Every structure is written in structure tokens, then in C-alpha cells.
Amino acid sequence: MPSESAATGAVHRLGELLGAEVVLPDGTKAGQVHDVRLAGGPGLQDYVVDGFVVRARGEGAFLGYDRRAVLGPWLLRALVRAANRDARYVRWRAVRRIDWEAKLVVVERLDPLEDERAPA
């Protein structure tokens, strides 16, 4: 059970996850939740949280350049990519616990961030 809340059916907001502190089990700070990746289907109601895009500094990364291969103009992409080099990904199975009150996500490990897959 990756969640603290015992009762299933508990309702949350995605916005509560954005900016949440990400820590390793030993308490080391790993960054902040920058985006939440959803996967599943066929309907939107069947999409579940697949993992978190984590950055050392949650704010400031923007514009969608951070996770896309082909985007111009060159100058902007280079600047934003440079600022986003620290982005990592936490898979759902690496999430140990979410503390919604404290806006804290405890994770076991962080993986490299892959560019998101193309639309189906």
C-alpha cells in the first residue's frame, strides 16, 4: 500500500502533489514533484498515476521543453534543457508512502527521466 490513508476511495487533488517534497527513506531530500505522469485507459477514468517527474527545484521548469525531443527555437530549448538536466523520474512501485498533509512523498529510488511516449 503506497498510501498512508487506510480507507480506499479517499479523494485527493492532483494539485496537492505538485510541488510536494520528495525524500528517500533515510530522509535525504531528492527534490520536488514537478509533474505527475498518468497512464492506462481506455477511458480517462482508467488512467492511474504512473509516476512522478522530480526536479531538484520544483519551480521554474516550464514550457514543456523539458520532456520533448523536437522543439525549437534552438536558443530557448538549449536554455530550458540546461536548466532541466536534473530531472528524474519516480515509478509508482518505487513510491513507499504519500503524506498528503505534509505534502511529502517518500520514495525508494529515482530513475532517469525518459522523454514521454508519442501519442497512441
Q: Does 5 bind other proteins (CB under 8 A)?
A: yes
Q: Which of 24, 36, 94, 104 is the binder for other proteins (CB under 8 A)?
A: 36
Q: What are the grid coordinates assigned to 62, written together? A: 516550464
Q: Is 62 in the site for other proteins (CB under 8 A)?
A: yes
Torsion of CA 63, 108, 48, 15, to 10 degrees: -50
Give the range of 15-23, 24-32, 101-109 binding other proteins by CB under 8 A.
Answer: 15-23
d(CA 13, CA 25): 24
**Closest to 66 measured CA to CA, from 81, 55, 78, 79:** 81
The least CB distance from residue 28 to other proteins, in Å, is: 24
Q: Is 25 in the site for other proteins (CB under 8 A)?
A: no
Residue 77 cell numbers, joined: 530549448
State yes or no: residue 119 binds other proteins (CB under 8 A): yes
Looking at the Cβ atoms of 25 and 41, the one nearer to other proteins is 41
Residue type, 35: D
Grid coordinates 521543453 are at which residue?
65
Q: Which stretch binds other proteins (CB under 8 A): 22-30, 31-39, 104-112?
A: 31-39
The sign of the dihedral angle between the CA atoms of 62, 63, 64, 65 is negative
Binding site for other proteins (CB under 8 A): 1-3, 5, 7-18, 34-50, 53, 62-65, 67-68, 70-76, 92, 116-120
